[in-house]
Structure 1
Amino acid sequence: MSVKIPLTLACGDYEIVRPLKEGVVKPDGIDLTVLTSMDSTTRHWRFLRNGDFDMAETSASSYVVARDYGYELNALPVFLHRRFRHGFVYINTSKGITKPSDLIGRKVGIKSFLVTAGHWMRGILEHEYGVPHKSIDWYAELDEDVDFVPPPGLRLNRLSHDKSVETMLAEGEIDALIHSSLIKPIVNKDPRVGRLFPDYKAEEQAYYKKTGIFPIMHVLGIKNEVLAQHPWVAINMFHAFNEAKAIAMKRMENPRLVPLAWYREAWEEQEEVLGKDPWEYGLTGKNRQTLETLAGYSHEQGLTRRPMPLDELFVDLSQGRKRGDEFRI
């Protein structure tokens, strides 16, 4: 009887991992326990700080900084969470903010400085809209996934435990907020809070058309000790993630699964704008461009001490030329 090695995977409860979670897809040689009940910030902390899991979906920006600081981790080029970020820049409607340049000199809240959503948006504001990240006073609610030394000139303030950036925005204590999620004032239609980009979908599509970037939020972290003991795990897990995604995408093509009147039209629009597989894994051309931009922002913003090349950040999944794509006995 063959013995499989037990490994834990912590990730979001996504359709594209459902086949792994439910055991429809079984990684070769691995007895996988999939944990999906944590929110993202808790999962990232527990993996990066505590090493609680063998593998985990984790913050891409925090991971890049962790590697620069010598954490014993690596990553698979599996990207379970991607999202455009223009729609998650919120403003207090009484502050006279109507365009990105109005953020210069303002107080802007963030959950923590290394949150990938904020990391992407800082870079986008700087490169696409001329808003230098050092021209803003940043107010962080949470401690960081990875301790880092703030670079000179970064105006970063840590809030006390009783402070919430969402409440501070609504009450006018801060002028704007870059968040990773829909915030309660927006959900509750609080008139004191709006979006910096009211037509954010058009802004995001224009950004993609110009840059070709569909921002990657999370990578799939894996402990070095797992790779040292079982180097074959990386490739086998990569295949399993791809198989799970293929099953999920085929299932999701059926509009009857989702209680949305125009779901199929949204599916077709995504294909028209982003192509057949905007969620692709691996260090493909587009993914390299996206990840190099992300890592470049890390160095520009003084979060890493040197530029971090992708070949250092991701496990080499090479199986040799023309191998691994077709099964031969």
Structure 2
Amino acid sequence: MRETRPTAPLSVLLGDYPHTRPLKDGTLPVAGVDCAYPESVPLPPAFARMVRDLAYDICEMPTATYLQARDAGVPVSLLPVVLVGSTHHRSLTRLPDGPELGPRDLVGRRVGVRSYGQTTGLWVRGWLREEYGVESSDVTWVTTEDVHVARYANPAYVERSGAGRVADLLRSHDVCAAVLGPKAIGGQGAGLVPLVADAEDAGLAWTERHKTIPANHLLVVRDDVLRTRPEAVLAVYRALKKTIDDTAGGRDDSPAGRAVAAGWSASLTACLEIAGRYALEQGLIGDPVDVAAIEKRTAFLDR
């Protein structure tokens, strides 16, 4: 694992979090590696650029997007880093003055979601099936964006809307409920309420049952970069792991705070196994996910 000649800076696309800022602002240089940190505001267009054009060397990526990219043969490998994660029972929302719907009431109804391939939607549909017996095909999923992986075709029960935001679908009564990601809940989703009355407790029960926390954003590296510059990839990983460890005291003890982690672990393995099963059940991918094969690609990082 030795680099034999000078190489261009690694392009590393990361969101803006306490555990990424020390790298992005140069407080913590990556040992022996020159890195460039391009910005994308908002982040989702960068995910599409990565899976469609391999636009970056290392890139933050939603869990569902990674699973779909892997299924489609996009040449990227997973690095064992969870940048964003949380429970998602509170992510299924309704209008506060609308009908008091429960999860089972969604059968035969329309639900808004940014994209059928959005990771929050993956986790929500997973617990809907697991805990309430609601299949993905029991609901019409109304989307405002396309999936990141271009070759993927949505199932017949997915409909594209011209609305700009998911919350707008709900407030215009085009849908009876809406799936909102962590940032959207406090933004466009302000004032909306969860369908699950005890959403926080239900989310904690999910984590206790599965011994993991749902990961929303992971990290991937282009296969050619992993093959030709493994030492540089290792250096980036070690630096990011250090910032995650160093900022642990500033994160609360909520699932979102505990989800951020670096390193292969029983929790990450369980998370990927469950996400892979959910993705297969929901028609997001066509083949079962071999987590052991995923881990084998970058197991050297933790040696």
Identify the residue that residue 285 of structure 2 maps to in structure 1: 304
Q: Does 1:127 align with 2:111?
A: no
* Superposition RMSD in Å: 2.6
d(CA) in 1 for partners of 2:154, 2:259: 34
Cα 1:176–1:277 shift into 2, 3 Å: closer
Q: Does 1:294 align with 2:275?
A: yes
TM-score normalised per structure 1: 0.81
Q: Any conservation in 2 of the 1:19–1:247 contact (CA below 8 Å)?
A: no
Q: 2:95 is matched with which residue: 88, 92, 95? A: 92
Give 1:108 shift: 0.4
Q: 1:20 is matched with which residue: 10, 15, 23? A: 23
Identify the residue that residue 227 of structure 1 maps to in structure 2: 226
Q: Any conservation in 2 of the 1:112–1:143 contact (CA below 8 Å)?
A: yes
Counterpart code for 1:87: R
d(CA) in 2 for partners of 1:96, 1:109: 16
Give 1:95 shift: 5.1
Q: 2:159 is matched with which residue: 157, 160, 174? A: 157
Q: Any conservation in 2 of the 1:170–1:185 contact (CA below 8 Å)?
A: no
Q: Which has the higher mean CA deviation after the structures are superposed, 2-11 or 111-120? A: 2-11
Identity %: 24
Q: Any conservation in 1 of the 2:116–2:154 contact (CA below 8 Å)?
A: no
Identify the residue that residue 280 of structure 1 maps to in structure 2: 261
d(CA) in 1 for partners of 2:27, 2:296: 25
Q: Any conservation in 1 of the 2:24–2:37 contact (CA below 8 Å)?
A: yes
d(CA) in 2 for partners of 1:290, 1:122: 15
Task: Give structure 2 stretches of 5+ with no counterpart.
Answer: none
Counterpart code for 1:159: S
Give 1:93 shift: 4.6
Counterpart code for 1:61: A
Q: Which has the higher mean CA deviation after the structures are superposed, 235-244 or 60-69? A: 235-244
Q: Any conservation in 2 of the 1:113–1:144 contact (CA below 8 Å)?
A: yes
d(CA) in 2 for partners of 1:277, 1:200: 18
Q: Does 1:65 align with 2:64?
A: no
d(CA) in 2 for partners of 1:234, 1:185: 37
SS in 1 for 2:224: helix
TM-score normalised per structure 2: 0.88
Q: Which has the higher mean CA deviation after the structures are superposed, 276-285 or 201-210? A: 276-285
Give 1:297 shift: 1.0
Identify the residue that residue 264 of structure 1 maps to in structure 2: none
Q: Does 1:169 align with 2:170?
A: yes
Task: Give structure 1 stretches of 5+ with no counterpart.
Answer: 254-266, 325-329
Structure 1, residues 252-291: CA drift from partner, whole Å, max 9, x if none? 27xxxxxxxxxxxxx3xx1xx76x9543222211110111
Cα 1:186–1:178 shift into 2, 3 Å: closer
Identify the residue that residue 297 of structure 2 maps to in structure 1: 316
Cα 1:235–1:90 shift into 2, 3 Å: same
Counterpart code for 2:212: I
Identify the residue that residue 105 of structure 2 maps to in structure 1: 102
Within a 5 Å distance, the mapping from 1:210-225 to structure 2 comes to 210-225=209-224
Structure 1, residues 221-279: CA drift from partner, whole Å, max 9, x if none? 111221232122332222111111122224x27xxxxxxxxxxxxx3xx1xx76x9543
d(CA) in 1 for partners of 2:144, 2:259: 32
